[in-house]
A and B are shown apart, each in its own frame.
Chain A
């Protein structure tokens, strides 16, 4: 099958859906002739014109609200927030409005919109352009939160998100944009709330999100050389969460390591640990549930400091080995 990048997969999903459905449009900063800060929308302005590619000045709150309002009357907007850090500026509309309108109006409204945003560190962009704030939104009933890892998942999940009748926060990772993978040309969707076992194993379950899935898979290769057989589960969507796949995996291996880039305290790992501890997998645990996540600091600028702020492959290998060898 043809291989394209994660970035191209996202662009292809949006393009195909805009060709298929006239109610879909894009709104965001520098997404027009500039092609988006990361070039995700490159060429789309030329194809669809200013009527459907709404380039805005710096108005995160305004453009997110505009997407919310348009969705409220049945359009399917895709808003781009240039960096996830800036979702803090958009969150009044996202959290107070988009997420709550349906419930607040007694189930008689819906807000079918997608808010796409690149998250994560590793580019030297420092404190204001590197955060992973997904769990802020996981905490809000009414929102869905999706974090694709592979180009294949990115396309299928984005198409499903656009067609979903609820506000979806679609979290991309900057470092994944240029990664390649097999992606079918045709239209396909991956249901939100369906985890993917990215690698099967028997000794340890690693539940990881976004780029940490890739790093965990690399770590699993290392560990395999030592005879340690790791299973890697990618939830793909954090809300709704496919608890069944995770629980079954933990029941099989009896040991679990949770890996994410976001700061550990208040991160999604706590939610995963809670889900596992509350489930029947509890009685299968041979070791404590361990989380490996971002340090309790903002993302620093210096390359060495930045790398040490979030889990790397070596950290995952070490932590996984400790759990499998019952050192914890």
Chain B
């Protein structure tokens, strides 16, 4: 059988070799051990000896050719032997397959190509500035040094422990103020934000010095949010005077019913929330949000009710108030306020509001203007109900229970007429609660 001459492996990690020259020619007689050709690896040039004695035949690789190791490149025939027919047998599969480098379709300079590979940059994504769009080193450098597409907005500086606790308690770290070095959020800050923040123990330095309330936690959040709201939202205010006798009568009727049913009494707030939600249902522009791109008219009517706390304020939300009965709203408002004061609200219970009511009537305030709670577009400030002189149609002046309400609206969203129509609707509902069922 003819002896194969193969391109030998002579180096560690060698996968190919280059034919440098054939020392023996096709048809020449060779002796085993005699040098028949020279090959080259990236390390050295090597003489290849004849593996057998005979006639060198069928040289199939020319000088300069680069071939995988173990490729059959010739045969040595003893007398009477013939070259094997057909194609050369394929070389045995090396244990490591040859790395196939697909030709790149993107024209690029070698340096650019190397640099792109080093930085794992897809050349397809690089605009070439060279001839015929060839990608140059400068083009790759530009990509490497350009800032990432997504700006690091919304990056929060928080200790790993704070991140874990925030995730466990469902707290949005963007809403948490850090007390660690450089404002780093610690796990205690997250717990404080999730729970009712405990009043900071303040050491009184001396009676003549002001008491120092650190601007942290909820206090800082309130300060930042209200400043942002007042500075960025053009507020417009509309006040209306409401005759409250029908409202009071309706509430009394409802309470009689509740008492008979052995259920909790209906608070004024509950009735107020219900009536506001119906007004909102009829005036969707007031139940909206302003964003940089668009105005969002919310399909859900989620009414927040501000609750005062010792260290600030929290606004639990009655979701889908328009779809709920007054008794249910009453129960919810009462429950939310209680838990707000105990610091047990869930994040979902303080989020998602589309409109806010701030009622300072119980504190004796006649009338005031509130600052909008973004991203909502409006807030209703409710004053106390008190007897006021009211002229009747017949010219007579009588004392009647009266309440002042003020709508503060985001004027970018809510036009004057829209606000006026909403207020008219709300006044009508408050003065005639029976219209609920209209």
Does A associate with B in a complex?
yes
Write the residues of chain A forming the contact surface with B, with a CB cutoff of 8 angstroms.
254, 282-287, 326-328
CB distance from B158 to the nearest CB of A (A): 10
Q: Name which of B159, B179, B184, B187 has the most chain A CB atoms within 10 A of its CB.
A: B159
Interface contact B181-A326, CB-CB below 8 Å: yes
Interface contact B160-A283, CB-CB below 8 Å: yes
Residues of A within 8 A of B180 (CB): 286-287, 326
* Cα A326 to Cα B187 with chains together (Å): 12
Check: B164 CB closer than 8 A to any chain A CB. yes
Check: B161 CB closer than 8 A to any chain A CB. yes
Residues of A within 8 A of B184 (CB): 326
Residues of A within 8 A of B179 (CB): 326
Check: B186 CB closer than 8 A to any chain A CB. yes
* Cα A284 to Cα B163 with chains together (Å): 9
Interface contact B161-A286, CB-CB below 8 Å: yes
Interface contact A282-B181, CB-CB below 8 Å: no
Partner of A328, one of B161, B164, B181: B181
Residues of B within 8 A of A327 (CB): 181
- Kindly list the 3 A-B residue pairs having the minimum CB-CB distance in the complex, ordered from nearest: A283-B164, A285-B160, A286-B159
* Cα A84 to Cα B382 with chains together (Å): 81
CB distance from A283 to the nearest CB of B (A): 4
Partner of A254, one of B161, B163, B181: B161
* Cα A239 to Cα B211 with chains together (Å): 56
Name the interface residues of B159-207: CB closer than 8 Å to any CB of A.
159-164, 179-181, 184, 186-187
* Cα A328 to Cα B184 with chains together (Å): 10
Interface contact B181-A284, CB-CB below 8 Å: no
Interface contact B186-A282, CB-CB below 8 Å: no
Residue pairs across A and B with Cβ atoms less than 8 A apart, 5 shown, are A284-B161, A286-B162, A286-B186, A326-B180, A326-B186
Write the residues of chain B forming the contact surface with A, with a CB cutoff of 8 angstroms.
159-164, 179-181, 184, 186-187
Interface contact B181-A286, CB-CB below 8 Å: no
Interface contact B159-A285, CB-CB below 8 Å: yes
Partner of A282, one of B160, B162, B187: B160
Residues of A within 8 A of B162 (CB): 286
Question: Considering only CB atoms, which chain B residue lies closest to A283 in the complex?
Answer: B164
Given A326-B180, A326-B181, A327-B181, answer yes or no on A283-B163 (Cβ-Cβ < 8 Å): yes
Residues of A within 8 A of B159 (CB): 254, 285-287
Residues of A within 8 A of B163 (CB): 283
* Cα A188 to Cα B91 with chains together (Å): 63
Question: Considering only CB atoms, which chain A residue lies closest to B179 in the complex?
Answer: A326
Residues of A within 8 A of B161 (CB): 254, 283-286
Q: Name which of B161, B162, B163, B187 has the most chain A CB atoms within 10 A of its CB.
A: B161
Question: Considering only CB atoms, which chain B residue lies closest to A251 in the complex?
Answer: B161
* Cα A239 to Cα B180 with chains together (Å): 35
Residues of B within 8 A of A286 (CB): 159, 161-162, 180, 186-187
* Cα A254 to Cα B181 with chains together (Å): 15
* Cα A221 to Cα B432 with chains together (Å): 75
CB distance from B300 to the nearest CB of A (A): 35
Question: Considering only CB atoms, which chain B residue lies closest to A254 in the complex?
Answer: B161
Residues of A within 8 A of B187 (CB): 254, 286
CB distance from A326 to the nearest CB of B (A): 5
* Cα A254 to Cα B179 with chains together (Å): 16
* Cα A304 to Cα B184 with chains together (Å): 38
Interface contact A284-B186, CB-CB below 8 Å: no
Residues of B within 8 A of A284 (CB): 160-161, 164
Residues of A within 8 A of B164 (CB): 283-284
CB distance from A248 to the nearest CB of B (A): 15
* Cα A3 to Cα B162 with chains together (Å): 46
* Cα A285 to Cα B187 with chains together (Å): 9
Question: Considering only CB atoms, which chain A residue lies closest to B186 in the complex?
Answer: A286
CB distance from B186 to the nearest CB of A (A): 5
Question: Considering only CB atoms, which chain A residue lies closest to B165 in the complex?
Answer: A283
* Cα A284 to Cα B190 with chains together (Å): 13
CB distance from A239 to the nearest CB of B (A): 26
Residues of A within 8 A of B160 (CB): 282-285
* Cα A306 to Cα B187 with chains together (Å): 40
Question: Considering only CB atoms, which chain A residue lies closest to B180 in the complex?
Answer: A326
Question: Considering only CB atoms, which chain A residue lies closest to B163 in the complex?
Answer: A283
Question: Considering only CB atoms, which chain B residue lies closest to A281 in the complex?
Answer: B160
Question: Considering only CB atoms, which chain B residue lies closest to A285 in the complex?
Answer: B160
Question: Considering only CB atoms, which chain B residue lies closest to A328 in the complex?
Answer: B181
Q: Name which of A254, A282, A283, A326 has the most chain B CB atoms within 10 A of its CB.
A: A283
* Cα A283 to Cα B184 with chains together (Å): 15
**Contacts A254-B161, A284-B164 known; 17 new A-B pairs at CB < 8 A:** A254-B187, A282-B160, A283-B160, A283-B161, A283-B164, A284-B160, A284-B161, A285-B159, A285-B160, A285-B161, A286-B161, A286-B186, A286-B187, A287-B159, A287-B180, A326-B180, A328-B181
Residues of A within 8 A of B186 (CB): 286, 326
* Cα A282 to Cα B160 with chains together (Å): 6
Residues of A within 8 A of B181 (CB): 326-328
Residues of B within 8 A of A328 (CB): 181
